[in-house]
Structure 1
Amino acid sequence: MTATEPETLDVALADEFSTLLVGIQRLVRRRLRQATDEPRLRGAQVELLRLVMDSPGLRVSEAAEELCLAGNSVSTLVNQLVARNLLRRESDPADRRAALLHATPEAVERIEAWRRRRRALMGDIVAGLPPREREALAAALPALRQVAEGLRTPPGEEER
């Protein structure tokens, strides 16, 4: 083996991995959309709603940081979701200029229904794998979590 072969393997693995992740996410979204008649939400809108449901009272600036989006992009998403009665804004009592975000009951039900459909879909797919493949998938979860954490950390800010 030459010195460049492991690097070439890492690049090929990373390329196939990222291609598979994008493809899997697209296929999951497509299958879940087929199972509902509700007006479609864009991916960023769903991400924001899920984040607000997990952290009620989140500020727009905090949501922007967590989603790695510009503040004005999140403000646009907030306005869209408020107009659809899926999100509500409250003034922050500590700072009247800031808004605190809360999911509406309609949004909570919609996201919970989506989560149930996603769990069922992925549960069926995973259950259909041979036992060794399920074990391999479970064994890969810690590495996948590390990949996700690595993507959350902005370049140049890696822990030292």
Structure 2
Amino acid sequence: MTSSPDLAERLMSAVQGVRRVVRRRVRAEVPGPPLPGAQVELLRVVERLPGIGVAAAARELGLAGNSVSTLVNLLVEAGLLRREVDPADRRAAQLDVTEAARERMAIWRKARTGLVTTALARLSEEDTTVITAALPALERLMDVLKEEG
């Protein structure tokens, strides 16, 4: 079976729809003002790669450096990100999440996982088996898309 524009459109619609619904429902359970998706993505990258620099974070996210700098400034101001001078290159910064960000992200993860787990439990065993079987292919698709970007 070859891929088609219809398959691509249905896939993107489904993925975006799931993300939108989960984000909206979880937002109510996470304390503090809601964060835009780009800020959450940056926090997730920095949490995964503590000490990462702005340029490396931009590459990881596929964003322009100045866009990530703006996100960093907003998150530092909100007390969710810490920016320190890189001892190896005093012109560069190293990023790390704050304890407040760790706590907020843990609450967010727990709420998101709980919501999706509950929803998956309402599906048939056949549906959950199909979703599970599709995950490796979706992860490979993500890798291919990253390579092409």
TM-score, with structure 2 as normaliser:
0.95
Task: Tell me the equivalent position of 1:77.
Answer: 71
Higher relative contact order (CA 8 A, sep 6+): 2
Query: Equivalent residue for 1:110?
Result: 104
Cα drift, residue 36 of structure 1: 3.4
Q: Does 1:145 align with 2:139?
A: yes
State the AA in 2 paired with 1:90: E
User: Given residue 70 of structure 1, which amino acid in structure 2 is its aligned partner?
Assistant: A
Task: State the alpha-carbon separation in 2 of the partners of residues 85 and 37 from structure 1.
Answer: 14
Contact 2:30 2:108 in 1 (8 A): no
Instruction: State the one-letter code of the partner of 2:54.
Output: V
Aligned residues: 149
Q: Which runs of 5+ in 1 are unaligned?
A: 1-5, 156-160
1:141 partner amino acid: L
- Name 2:28's counterpart in structure 1: 34
CA contact (8 A) 2:30 2:104 kept: no
Among residues 13, 23, 29, which one is paired with 1:19 in the alignment? 13
Write the distance in 2 (CA, Å) between the matches of 1:138 and 1:147.
Answer: 15
Distance 1:126 1:154 in 2: 32
Q: Alignment partner for residue 134 of structure 1, among 128, 134, 147?
A: 128
CA shift at 1:51, angstroms? Answer: 0.7
1:3 maps to none
Larger radius of gyration: 1
Q: Which secondary structure state, in structure 1, belongs to the residue aligned with residue 85 of structure 2?
A: strand
Shift of 1:138: 0.5
Deviating above 6 A after TM superposition, structure 1's stretches of 4 or more consecutive aligned residues are none
| TM-score of the aligned structures, taking structure 1 as reference length | 0.89
Partners of 2:46 and 2:52 within 8 A in 1: yes
1:50-61 matches, within 5 Å, as 50-61=44-55
Q: Check whether the contact 2:31–2:104 (CA below 8 A) recurs between aligned residues.
A: no
SS at match of 1:100: strand
* Identity rate, percent: 48
Gaps of at least 5 residues in structure 2 are none
